Amino acid sequence: MNSEFAVILVDSTSHAMRIEKILTMHGLTCKLVPVPRHLSSDCGVCVRVLKQDIEEIKTLIDTHHVIVRSIEVL
Amino acid sequence: MSSGISSLETGLIYLDNAATSWPKPPGVAAAMHHFLDQIGANPGRSGHRLSVKAGRIIYETREAVASLFGAPDPLRVVFGMNATDGINLALHGILKPGDHVITSGIEHNAVMRPLHDLETGGVEVTQIPCFVDGSLDPAQVELSIRSNTKLIALNHASNVCGTILLIREVGQMARQKNLFFLVDVAQSAGVLPIDMEKDCIDFLAFTGHKSLYGPMGTGGLVIGKRIEPEALHPLRQGGTGSRSEREIQPEFFPDRYESGTMNAVGLSGLLAALQWLQQQGIDQIRSHEMTLCTRLIEGLLNIPNVTVYGPTEMSRRTATVGFNIQNMEPSTVGLRLDEEFGILCRIGLHCAPSAHRTIGTFPNGCVRFSIGAFNTERDIERALKAVNELAKEAQ
């Protein structure tokens, strides 16, 4: 499957909200979506982002000390 | 300050803001109404657009609380029902049999009852007596430290006589000695500056419905960065909408402590209240309340058979004023103020027998006037006139 998206998997909705806020503040495109079933059986949300932004996002996540479970390319 | 609801409209004078503030800023009810009408979904559960909207409101509220108290991270704001909930989580979560905890002589039962329960389970408790005006000597706290002392738990401001405790002095000392520090800010949040970093607070228990001007059923515990989740046991376990594949409680903030559906309606109201508070400025509110409090205390002290409790210097107190009329039971005063003058206040022991023992009013208690942001000079003048009349009768 080839897409322009990746998802950031997080421990909880609160973490997703935090990432959404940080990315939006930096003008990056993102959307909270349900976690795709093939990635996790979780009932929560993850942050869908553009693949092309991944490197910048990784830096932001480090700078803001946000804990993420993984970043998965769709 | 105006709430849109004035005492002129209701004909009542509300001086019971230490029990719960009323009226609320106009945006609070509107935000709650909007949540129920337009959002309504369960935050942090489903992932659809309304659920995400609900979650976003809760996250915004976490940020607003974190910013007000100088919290290290919005995710360390744990929501619960009220300050009592937060205090219970901190005390039951951190103390183990054999640990020693130090507290003060003006504590509310929100602290004393959990401590008494823990004491029967083997936790050692020292209650440091306060002076008759409710103040605490931080040096006495230091002298009570033992090798097994783990926590110091203090009320920031008395709910009976308004006395402010010197939390920064105690907090800095606690940090030097490597002890944890819990502060109950139920009576001070929103009127006094509080900074978890500078005041060296590890656990900050707050309520939304008093001087933060939000609705009842909101509050919780802000957890400092020295506390690791494994060191603080949750009071409740259950569904969090996260890590649903596992049947053990999550180990991360805030989910570890927030099982079950949250009071999202209430938190929407709290967010609106915190935004209002930020617009007004807590310095402005404090200054308004203390202007009225100065007049109230001055007026009460001018009545010969009235005793006022707590400090008379405004810098050492909040706008919560305990007093008694000689030879008139507080219950009689309270009833007559309500029925004959439309003045609403709280009488009795205020869930704080320790504080009443400290100020010498146990077991009869006292009358308490507690001023809020929406009180006016006229309210205070009318209250003083009423107390004057009752005091004359009692002479």
How does pLDDT run across A43-53, given as a tens digit for each residue? 678 999 999 99
Q: B7-25+281-394: which CATH topology?
A: Aspartate Aminotransferase, domain 1 (3.90.1150)
Judge whether B244 is closer than 8 Å to chain A, CB to CB: yes
Q: Which CATH architecture has domain B27-279?
A: 3-Layer(aba) Sandwich (3.40)
Q: Are A20 and A67 in contact (CB under 8 A)?
A: no
| Residue B44 banded pLDDT, cuts 50, 70, 90 | confident
Closest CA to B47 of A72, A46, A9, A30: A46
Judge whether A32 is closer than 8 Å to chain B, CB to CB: yes
Mean pLDDT of chain A: 90
How does pLDDT run across B122-153, given as a tens digit for each residue? 999 999 999 999 999 999 999 999 999 999 99
Judge whether A67 is closer than 8 Å to chain B, CB to CB: yes
- Looking at per-residue confidence, does B2 or B181 come out higher? B181
Among A12, A22, A66, the residue to mutate for chain B (most B Cβ within 10 A): A12
Asked whether residue B2 carries a pLDDT value surpassing 90, the answer given is: no
Contacts of B9 by beta carbon, 8 Å cutoff, 6+ apart: none
A45 to chain B: which residues are within 8 Å by CB?
A: 47, 51-52, 55
Q: Is there a contact between A11 and B62 if contact means CB atoms under 8 Å apart? A: no
Where are the domains positioned within chain A? 5-73
The pLDDT of residue A41: 65
Phi, psi of B90 (to 5 degrees): -65, -50
Where are the domains positioned within chain B? 7-25+281-394, 27-279
Q: Which CATH architecture has domain A5-73?
A: 2-Layer Sandwich (3.30)
Q: How far apart are CA B64 and CA A68, in angstroms?
A: 23
Q: How far apart are CA B222 and CA B204, in angstroms?
A: 5
The pLDDT of residue B105: 96
The pLDDT of residue B393: 96
The pLDDT of residue B361: 94
Q: Are B29 and B37 in contact (CB under 8 A)?
A: no
How does pLDDT run across B274-318, given as a tens digit for each residue? 999 999 999 999 999 999 999 999 999 999 999 999 999 999 999
Distance from CA of A53 to the nearest CA of B (A): 22
CA dihedral B349, B354, B356, B360 (to 10 degrees): 150
The pLDDT of residue B9: 62
How does pLDDT run across B213-256, given as a tens digit for each residue? 999 999 999 999 999 999 999 999 999 888 888 899 999 999 99
The pLDDT of residue B7: 55
Distance from CA of B253 to the nearest CA of A (A): 9
Q: Which of residues 58-97 of B touch A (CB under 8 A)?
A: 58-59, 62-63, 73-75
The pLDDT of residue B51: 92
The pLDDT of residue B6: 54
Nearest Cβ partner for A43 among B62, B75, B241: B241
Q: Give B36-40's long-range contacts (Cβ < 8 A, gap of 24+).
A: B36/B265, B39/B264, B39/B268
